[in-house]
Chains A and B, each alone.
Chain A
Amino acid sequence: MFSAPLPLILLAPFAGLLLLALIGRGGRSLTAWTAGLSMTGGLAAALALAPEVFGGATVLWRVAWLPEWGLDFALRLDGLGLLFTILILGIGVLIVLYAAYYLPKYDDLQRFYMSLLGFAGGMLGIVLAENIVLMVVFWEVTSLTSFLLIAYKYQEVEARISARMALAVTGGGGLALLAGALLLGSVAGSFDFSVIEARAGDVRADPLYPVILILFLLGAFTKSAQFPFHFWLPHAMAAPTPVSAYLHSATMVKAGVFLLARMYPVLAGTELWFVIVSTTGAITFVYGAYVALLKHDLKGLLAYSTVSHLGLITLLFGLDTPMAAVAAVFHIINHAIFKASLFMAAGIIDHETGTRDMRRMGGLFYTMPRTAVLAILAAGSMAGVPLLNGFLSKEMFFTAAVAHPGFDGANLILPIVATIGGMLAVAYSARFVWDVFFDGPANEMPKTPHEPVGWMRLPVEVLVALVVVVGFLPQWSVGPLLKVAAEAVLPGAVPEIKLAVWHGFNLPLAMTVVAFGLGVLQFSRRHKLYALQERYAFGLTSPVAFERFYRGATRFSTAFMALAAPRSLQRNLVLFISFLLVLGGWAWTSTEMASGWVGMLTGPLPVSEIDVASAVAFAALLFGALSTVIYRRSRVMAVIFMSVAGTVVSLAFLRFHAPDLALTQLSVEVVTIVLLLMCLRYLPETPVAQSTPGRRVRDGLLATAAGVGVTAMTYAMLTRPYETIAGYHMANAKPGGGGTNVVNVILVDFRGYDTLGEIVVLAMAALGLHALLTGTRMQGPPTLALTKADRYPIMLAELMRPLLPLSLVVAVYIFLRGHNLPGGGFIAGLVAAVALMLQYVAGGVDFASERLRVNYVRLLGVGLGIATLTGAASFWFGMPFLTSTHGYVYPPVIDKFELASAMAFDLGVFLVVIGTVLLAMTDIAALRRDETSAPAGASAKDKG
């Protein structure tokens, strides 16, 4: 079914975020209104779709994202998604209002609201995603934005540490979730939730099911702060209270239980699910409630209470009965409402009294009665007092606990756990109410408390009104929403939901009574508990363990990086080459060697004869290469020996019928040698460091091994036949590309896109060089007192000048014929560059620069521009990028020649090559300090 408003829900917060970025610091109320209205807009879009969802439909919407990978940007809105959307956006609007009054006047609300909207968008993405990979992406969005929100007061160390901790824990869980989602997608054959849900049976039967389940649970438990990953949540209280009220009651931490709910139809229903989820939930439920009782910090109490309630929801999902799942969904709603209002009330108290320590406050009922009434009602709901919404879901929990098939009769663990948890909740709620509003020294507070401004209290009033309305009239207020949400969790198996305040005298009611009695008793004896706690405080709490782990991991990775990626380039290279050798050796030894070592080495092709010329060239190459190594310290000698090897390589290209390559190699050889010789002046003649003999032996062994490996590989390759794929290129060069030189046609036509990339790389190298050397001045060794004539020999200068036009003509000739005969833009560019370079060599830089007023950086741009525009010109004719065309022209005087559009492209190549070579040369020449170059330039001018 297609429907337009569905993406609008998701779009609204992100659009608001962009808008906030655009309006900048437009003042407090403008930013607040923008944030609030974008949330309201999303909520309106969701409500517009609500009738469809209540009608039992699941609204789907998709656009192709990476269709070849089976990934669509697919959204769904079912009952569960609708419930969460309303919670996220509804509470979001209230938070926006609250934050505008809570945050200090001097704070920059733009940053806060942008993070908040980004977070809300991420949450919506999670609950609306149809594609589970998309869900993971949004999951990460919430992890990152919550990091920003917790670290909102980034000037404080505690905020930074807490934010980092939350990110590490929830982000780590996100990684597990990603792995789980990918596995689940491969098992189910699709990443679409609808498909996965339909194949739930196959998923549960798959051998990978336990792995998938555990990965998903890791994601859910870290996000929802389940034991033993709970510790980040209390620390995250370093965030401003609006953030805590939003993230840590209604949204972020609910993402984990949302995941449980979403995956319930797919992953639940097994023994493994029951054991892991219910145990984790039960431990978290009791542990969180117990620690909450010990906390003196207002937000600490609420945080651990949240941990406990999340544990309760997890436990309910873990029980794996329809009734328990309904109770879980119901408690998600109720907890979000009363906990968000409690956090906001705590924020007001903090705001008005200046402290969060419950031992320092008291009697607030008399100074801020309206806030007190609201907070007491919400706390009553937290404790499970009848006629408030918390009572209803807790009764449902007790009922589910009693009715669970695994625990009837003799086994009373579950009802006992439930009662203990309930008792602790009563105790900490009572402590909250008593210590803050009634008992305690009223005079120790930093500020004299009074009621906040009405707008700040309004969000609390709205939420507490809901607490009461749901408590009194459950069926009327949330009944339908709960029903559609439960239908999404339990497809086709929703039990009849009876929402009523009074269920009659039964076992759950008795449990409630016991929990209240014991809870009040516990509350009255709490001081003994504090004393005990002070004496036997836990040594190894989770945050400490986390910090230890974190430090250890950091130390380990630092040590590992020092070993694996040392700062020394030399050592890096040794590691890299050794690794390559190991890989090569492994490939060699792990291959089946049916015919032994020699058989591996030699393929079936016949070996060709060695001729005398080749043998001589081979000897020259060996001599050149090895002498380069031996004479590397007498650098000019080394360069000459290297050029011997290079010349043999060019000859080899010629010998094996690659005239284009021979020409290219030869001209590159020339320009490389000129550059190398130019650099020698600035590099010290005696190297600073000599390698130790041991290191030389090691490097020699590595080099020998590499050489032997390459020899073996080359020989094995050369003696084996292969299937060329060049047939197409050979056949189509003339008819399709308009040229007979297949190498050139491949470069400028068949693979023109690659060539474009290559000249871009070339230009980037030249620009990089330019950026490095611009402005750098270096002092070479003192110049010998050479005469002008010695420096620029007259013979060379006189020879070079007439040679320039001649060689440029050669370059043009090579360029023009390149499409049909050996030549082309690369070679022509190099030839022209050599010709121009010789002018510099013969006459001096200043002499040549005087006459060649070309900005080579601009030349690079022109060349790239021509090549790109030629490619883009084919758009004009409605053809894809770089489609070529060709025709014949008949200029006067010279013979007809063929003009292909690819030649314009080749012209771009030509210019880039010239630009690169000459830019490199002139930049290196310009290194010379001005005082020495000035006379040289003058002398050159005299001669010119």
Chain B
Amino acid sequence: MELLVSVALGVLTASGVYLILRPTTFSVVLGLTLLSYAVNGLIFFGGRLKAGAPPLSVPGLANQTDPLPQALVLTAIVIGFGMTAYLLAVALKAKSESGTDHVDAGETR
């Protein structure tokens, strides 16, 4: 299972990195989203693959998972959304100003 998770995060990273290196703004947005899946996953699995209960502090519930990485990732997901939205706005504005969706619009390529 550990190997499966590791390879999954690796593939997400590789796809994300390849996409953010593309010249098209839309690909960069997609790549960044994949990359944030990978990063969120990495932080989340910092709590290890523990077979246990959700982190609820309820009597009788034992062997819970680590709540800290979860709290970290929860806000990271939401902020990731904010970043995606902002990046889309930048892409749209760049298109509207320069007429192209090249990430280096107007600059040396």
A608 touches B18 (CB 8 A): no
- Please encode chain B, from 1 to 44, with 1 for each CB lying within 8 Å of some chain A CB and 0 for all others: 11111111111111101111111111101100110011011101
Assess whether A758 is in contact with B101, with CB atoms less than 8 Å apart: no
Contact residue among A569, A577, A608, A661 (Cβ-Cβ distance under 8 Å from B44) = A661
In the complex, A761 has a CB within 8 A of chain B: yes
| Docked-complex contact B17 and A765, CB < 8 angstroms | no
Report if A776 contacts B (CB, 8 A).
yes
Since A632-B19, A758-B75, A924-B89 are in contact, a sample of 16 more A-B pairs with Cβ atoms closer than 8 Å, ordered by chain A residue number, is A568-B104, A611-B1, A621-B8, A628-B30, A629-B18, A642-B34, A653-B44, A664-B74, A676-B29, A682-B95, A704-B14, A706-B14, A743-B70, A766-B85, A768-B89, A916-B85
**Min CB–CB distance B43 → chain A (angstroms):** 10
A714 contacts B109, C-beta separation under 8 Å: no
Residues of A near B65 (CB, < 8 A) are 656-658
Q: Which of A650-665 contact B (CB under 8 A)?
A: 652-653, 656-661, 664-665
Residue contact A726 to B66, C-beta cutoff 8 Å: yes
- Given A638-B30, A700-B18, A743-B70, CB of A761 within 8 Å of CB of B55: no
- Taking the closest CB of chain B, its distance from the CB of A541, in whole angstroms, is 39
Q: Does A618 lie within 8 Å of B8, measured CB to CB?
A: yes
* A741 CB to nearest chain B CB (Å): 6
- Report yes or no: B22 in contact with A649, Cβ–Cβ below 8 A: no
Q: Which residues of B contact A15 (CB under 8 A)?
A: none
Contact of B18 among A635, A659, A703, A712 (CB under 8 A): A703
A888: CB under 8 A from chain B? no
**How distant is the Cα of A822 from the Cα of B57 in the complex, in angstroms?**
12
A665, chain B: closest CB distance, angstroms: 6
A710 within 8 A of B: yes
A570 and B10 within 8 A (CB): no
Asked whether, in the complex, the Cβ of A689 is within 8 Å of the Cβ of B53, the reply is no
Closest 4 pairs between A and B when the two form their complex, measured CB to CB: A707-B14, A711-B10, A765-B82, A703-B18
Asked if A671 CB lies within 8 Å of chain B CBs, one says: yes
Instruction: List the one stretch of A340-348, A526-534, A715-723 in contact with chain B.
Output: A715-723
Known contacts A573-B20, A573-B21, A706-B17; is A747 also within 8 Å of B29 by CB?
no
The minimal Cβ–Cβ distance linking B42 to chain A, given in whole angstroms, is 6
Q: Is A582 an interface residue (CB 8 A)?
A: no
A714-B42, A743-B74, A776-B92 given; A628·B64 CB < 8 A: no
Residue with the highest number of chain A CB atoms closer than 10 Å, among B55, B83, B88, B96: B55
Instruction: Assess the A661–B96 pair: CB atoms within 8 A.
Output: no
Q: Which residues of B contact A706 (CB under 8 A)?
A: 13-14, 17
Q: A598 an interface residue at 8 Å Cβ cutoff?
A: no
Question: Does A751 touch B at the CB level, under 8 Å?
Answer: yes
The residue on B at minimum CB distance from A602 is B2
Pairwise interchain contact B6-A715, C-beta atoms closer than 8 A = yes
Q: Indicate whether A722 sits within 8 Å of B70 (C-beta atoms), given known contacts A675-B85, A683-B101, A703-B14.
A: no
In the complex the two chains form, is A679's CB within 8 Å of B26's CB? yes
Q: Are B101 and A684 in contact (CB under 8 A)?
A: yes
Which residues of A have CB within 8 Å of B52?
A: 657
Scan B74-87; emit 1 where CB is below 8 A from any A CB, else 0.
Answer: 11011111111110
Please determine whether A689 and B109 come into contact, CB atoms closer than 8 angstroms: yes
Which residues of chain B have C-beta atoms less than 8 A from A62's C-beta?
Answer: none
Contact status B4-A610, CB under 8 Å: yes
Shortest Cβ gap from B72 to chain A (Å):
9
Interface: A699 (CB within 8 A): yes
Q: Which A residues are CB-close (under 8 A) to B4?
A: 610, 614-615, 618
Partner of A710, one of B10, B67, B80, B82: B10
Q: Which residues of A contact B49 (CB under 8 A)?
A: 608, 656, 718
Contact of A853 with B by CB under 8 A: no
Residues of B within 8 A of A (CB): 1-15, 17-27, 29-30, 33-34, 37-38, 40-42, 44-58, 64-68, 70-71, 73-75, 77-86, 88-93, 95-96, 100-104, 107-109
Partner of A658, one of B18, B33, B54, B92: B54
Cα–Cα distance between A569 and B23 once the two chains are bound (Å): 9
Residues of A within 8 A of B17 (CB): 577, 699, 702-703, 706-707
| Residues of A with C-beta under 8 A to B40 | 649
Taking A715-B2, A715-B3, A729-B67 as contacts, is the C-beta distance between A710 and B38 under 8 angstroms? yes
Residues of B within 8 A of A684 (CB): 95, 100-101
Residue numbers in A under 8 Å from B95 (CB-CB): 682-684, 778
Please pick, from A605, A632, A679, the residue contacting B27 in the complex, using a CB distance under 8 A: A632
B50, B58, B89: the one contacting A656 at CB < 8 Å is B50
Q: Is the CB of A722 within 8 A of B48?
A: yes
User: Does any Cβ of B come within 8 Å of A895's Cβ?
Assistant: no
Q: Is A567 an interface residue (CB 8 A)?
A: yes
Q: Which of B65, B84, B88, B109 has the most CB of A within 10 A?
A: B88
A537-576 contacts to B, CB under 8 A, are 566-570, 573-574
A residues within 8 A CB of B81? 668, 671-672, 916-917
Interface centre among B52, B58, B91 (most CB of A within 10 A): B58
- Complex Cα distance, B80 from A913, in Å, reads 12
- Which residues from B are CB-within-8-Å of A751? 71
Chain A 715-744 interface residues, beta-carbon cutoff 8 Å to B: 715, 717-719, 721-722, 724-726, 729-731, 733-734, 740-743
Q: Is the CB of A566 within 8 A of B108?
A: yes
Q: How would you classify the secondary structure of chain B's contact residues: helix, strand, loop or mixed?
A: helix
Q: Would you give 19 A-B contacts (Cβ < 8 Å), ordered by A? A: A569-B107, A632-B27, A656-B65, A657-B54, A661-B44, A661-B74, A672-B33, A683-B25, A687-B102, A688-B23, A699-B18, A703-B14, A715-B6, A741-B56, A742-B67, A762-B79, A765-B85, A768-B89, A920-B85
Is the beta-carbon distance between A689 and B41 smaller than 8 angstroms? Answer: no
- A734–B64 Cα distance when bound, in Å, is 15
Q: Does A769 contact B (CB under 8 A)?
A: yes
List, in ascending order, chain A residues with CB within 8 A of B85's CB. Answer: 675, 765-766, 769, 916-917, 920
B101 nearest in chain A by CB position:
A683
CB-CB under 8 A for A688 and B101, given A625-B34, A729-B67 = yes
CB of A384 closer than 8 Å to a CB of B:
no
Give the complex CA separation of A639 and B49 in angstroms: 29
The residue of chain A having its C-beta at the shortest distance from the C-beta of B10 within the complex is A711
Is A908 interfacial (CB 8 A cutoff)?
no
Q: A567-B107, A567-B108 are in contact. Are A718 and B45 (CB under 8 A)?
A: yes
Is B2 a contact partner of A730 (Cβ separation < 8 A)?
no
- Residues of A close to B74: CB separation below 8 A: 660-661, 664, 743, 747, 826
In the bound assembly, the distance between CA atoms of A688 and B78 in angstroms comes to 32
Of the residues B1, B88, B89, B107, contact of A568 by C-beta under 8 Å: B107
Q: Give the CA-CA distance A616 to B97 in the complex, in Å.
A: 45
**CB < 8 Å: which of A609, A625, A702 contacts B21?**
A702
CB of A589 within 8 Å of the partner chain: no
A898: interface (CB < 8 Å) = no
Which residue of chain B lies nearest to A773 when distances are taken between CB atoms in the complex? Answer: B89
Q: Are B2 and A629 in contact (CB under 8 A)?
A: no
What residues of B have a CB within 8 angstroms of the CB of A773 in the complex?
89, 92-93
Least Cβ–Cβ distance between B12 and chain A, in angstroms: 5
> Knowing A646-B37, A652-B41 touch, does A822 contact B6 (C-beta < 8 A)?
no
B7, B71, B82: the one contacting A747 at CB < 8 Å is B71
**Bound state CA distance, A740 and B73, in angstroms?**
19
Contact pick for B96, options A755, A776, A830, CB 8 Å: A776
B78 pairs with A762, CB closer than 8 A: yes
A923: Cβ under 8 A from any B Cβ: yes
Kindly list chain B residues whose C-beta atoms are within 8 Å of the C-beta of A707.
10-11, 13-15, 17
Q: How far is the CB of A111 from chain B (nearest CB, A)?
A: 38
Task: Name the residue in B58, B86, B100 with the highest tally of chain A Cβ atoms < 10 Å from its Cβ.
Answer: B86
Q: Which residues of A contact B2 (CB under 8 A)?
A: 607-608, 715, 718-719
A626 with B11: in contact, given A607-B2, A656-B44 (CB under 8 Å)? yes
Residues of A within 8 A of B64 (CB): 657, 730, 742
Determine the chain A residues whose CB is within 8 A of the CB of B54 once the complex forms. Answer: 657-659, 822
Q: Find out whether the CB atom of B71 lies under 8 angstroms from the CB atom of A746.
A: yes
- Which chain A residue shows the least CB distance to B14? A707
* A755 and B1 alpha carbons, distance in the complex (Å): 33
